[in-house]
Amino acid sequence: MSEPRLRAKELDAADGLAAQRAEFLLDEGGGGSGGEAVYLDGNSLGALPAAVPGRLEDVVRRQWGELRIRSWTEEGWWTAPERIGDRIAPLVGAAAGQIVVGDSTSVNVFKAVVGAVRLARSADTAAGPVGSAGPVRDEIVVDATTFPTDGYIAESAARMTGCTLRPVPPSGVPDALGDRTAAVLLNHVDYRTGRLHDLPALTAAVHAAGAYVVWDLCHSAGALPVGLDEHGVDLAVGCTYKYLNGGPGSPAYLYVRAELQDRFDSPLPGWNSHAEPFGMRPEYAPAPGALRGRVGTPDILSMLALEAALDVWDGGVTIEAVRAKSLALTDFFLECVEAYVPEGRVECLTPRAHGERGSQIALRCPDAGDVMKRLIERGVVGDFRHPDVLRFGFTPLYVGFADVERAARVLADVLAEPGT
């Protein structure tokens, strides 16, 4: 047995999270000709938690099928958005009452960015008479490397609020801020490279400029500590189908810091966020707290599947332990790639420094699309990002060190094949 395989066996034996793997339904025999399947695409879609199918069957057959409309009250459907938000809160370092679940990430980005501009302008108005608080805040700064949808939404929000949109790489954000900056939209982890950006420092820089920050946590929540409350983040959004394993299209969430909730003015004031939703009044009055982030009727089936998926975090699993294993997995993967793959065949785009790395490894490879296709055929599932990036996501709750070693070994085999 080669040295990396022996090392993998030792690391798995010492893994304090190894038992969590049983909480997921994994296709252990789905690895094609190469043996067991290795699923390294949890940064796109998390694996299925074992508790979800039975819970959903109960929701469909009993709650919907038998209780029907009574389930809104008797089974707690109505309060699901904030109840599930409170379960997500500890995973992103937030106290209860600041997260509401619902809608897609894109919709929540729109709410948050427009809401941030309105917060900035209301703060300036409160500072003194018109014209005494300095220039009008009419600029939105957006991460120039962001996932495309965030850029599209930011552009639309800029048009709606009469702002100029300014794309800036995260490293350049502090120097780009000024007294016209209203809102800044940033990604905690870069979706292509896996680079982890400095949330505490960037948040502090935005606040020093008198602006409000919105963080996209899609590639960090459930994989590493975030510290929303600790670092004074204003607003944050995130999806739940990646490291939170909520299932395809599971609802996203919106965080609004408690101190800002009474001034948060959502651009989508739906009946579900009304202070008296069943009053059916023509005038809108926002609900107190994070509830004003709700819009329409909750997506109950997806929402309750997510609630069941969050059970995997019960029983003492901490985000700190998950982060420690994530770093160990990604370190070991890079070691195995260096041991198996000929030098120069791939280039690592993910930072080596722990403080700059999320929970994925991105490798640049000229024929990445074909390589990933061959990897999947051999049971190693990652994904490909145009034009030349292989992405491997490491979900510590169900990925082991033997998985990591096998993935690197199969990658080397594929790269050694004719035509690659």
Is 147 assigned a catalytic role? Answer: yes
pLDDT class of 33 with cuts at 50, 70, 90? very low
Ranges of each domain in the chain: 3-50+317-416, 78-313
Q: What is the pLDDT of residue 334?
A: 98
Tokens at residue 382, please? 């990652």
Is 216 assigned a catalytic role? Answer: yes
Spatial distance between the Cα atoms of 286 and 273, rounded to a whole number of angstroms: 6
What phi and psi, each to the nearest 5 degrees, are found at residue 372?
Answer: -65, -40
Q: What is the pLDDT of residues 79-91, one digit of tens each?
A: 999 999 999 999 9
pLDDT of 59 > 90? The answer is: yes
pLDDT of 330 > 90? The answer is: yes
Is 242 assigned a catalytic role? Answer: yes
Range in 17-31, 239-253, 318-332, 393-407 the model is least confident about = 17-31
Is 241 assigned a catalytic role? Answer: yes
Is 325 assigned a catalytic role? Answer: no
From the list 418, 321, 419, 414, the residue with the least C-alpha distance to 363 is: 414
Q: What is the pLDDT of residues 95-151, one digit of tens each?
A: 999 999 999 999 999 999 999 999 999 987 766 544 445 789 999 999 999 999 999
**Cβ–Cβ under 8 Å, residues 277 and 269:** no
CA angle at 146 for the pair 142 and 149, rounded to the nearest 5°: 95
Q: What is the pLDDT of residue 179?
A: 97
- CATH classification of 78-313, choosing from 3.30.479.10, 3.20.20.80, 3.40.640.10, 3.90.1860.10? 3.40.640.10
SS3 of the chain: CCHHHHHHHHHHHCCCCHHHHHHEECCCCCCHHHCCCEECECCCCCCEECHHHHHHHHHHHHHHHHHHHHHHHHCCCCCHHHHHHHHHHHHHCCCCCCEEECCCHHHHHHHHHHHHHHHHHHHHHHCCCCCCCCCCCCEEEEECCCCHHHHHHHHHHHHHHCCEEEEECHHHHHHHCCCCEEEEEEECECCCCCEECCHHHHHHHHHHCCCEEEEECCCCCCCCCCCCCCCCCCEEEECCCCCCCCCCCCCCEEEECHHHCCCCCCCCCCHHHECCHHHCCCCCCECCHHHHHCCCCCCHHHHHHHHHHHHHHCCCCCHHHHHHHHHHHHHHHHHHHHHHCCCCCCEECCCCCHHHECCEEEEECCCHHHHHHHHHHCCEECEEECCCEEEEECCCCCCCHHHHHHHHHHHHHHHHCCCC
Q: Report which residue type is found at 98.
A: Q
Q: What is the pLDDT of residue 132?
A: 47
Largest CA distance in the chain: 76
Catalytic-role residue among 24, 110, 212, 241:
241
Q: What is the pLDDT of residue 419?
A: 72
pLDDT class of 418 with cuts at 50, 70, 90? confident
Q: What is the pLDDT of residues 339-396, one digit of tens each?
A: 999 999 999 999 999 999 999 999 999 999 999 999 999 999 999 999 999 999 999 9
Classify the phi-psi angles of 264: left when phi > 0, otherwise alpha if psi is within -120 to 50, otherwise beta.
Answer: beta
Architecture of domain 3-50+317-416: Alpha-Beta Complex (3.90)
Give 377's strand partners: none
Long-range contacts of 337-340 (CB under 8 A, 24+ apart): 337/363, 337/408, 337/411, 337/412, 339/2, 339/3, 339/4, 339/408, 340/4, 340/408, 340/409, 340/411, 340/412
The contacts of residue 79 (CB under 8 Å, 6+ apart) are none
Q: Report which residue type is found at 148.
A: P
Rg (CA), the chain: 23
Catalytic-role residue among 118, 166, 242, 378:
242
pLDDT, averaged across the chain: 95
Catalytic-role residue among 41, 216, 234, 403:
216
Q: What is the pLDDT of residues 207-246, one digit of tens each?
A: 999 999 999 999 999 999 999 999 999 999 999 999 999 9
Catalytic-role residue among 257, 357, 391, 406:
391
The contacts of residue 366 (CB under 8 Å, 6+ apart) are 388
Q: What is the pLDDT of residue 131?
A: 43
pLDDT class of 400 with cuts at 50, 70, 90? very high
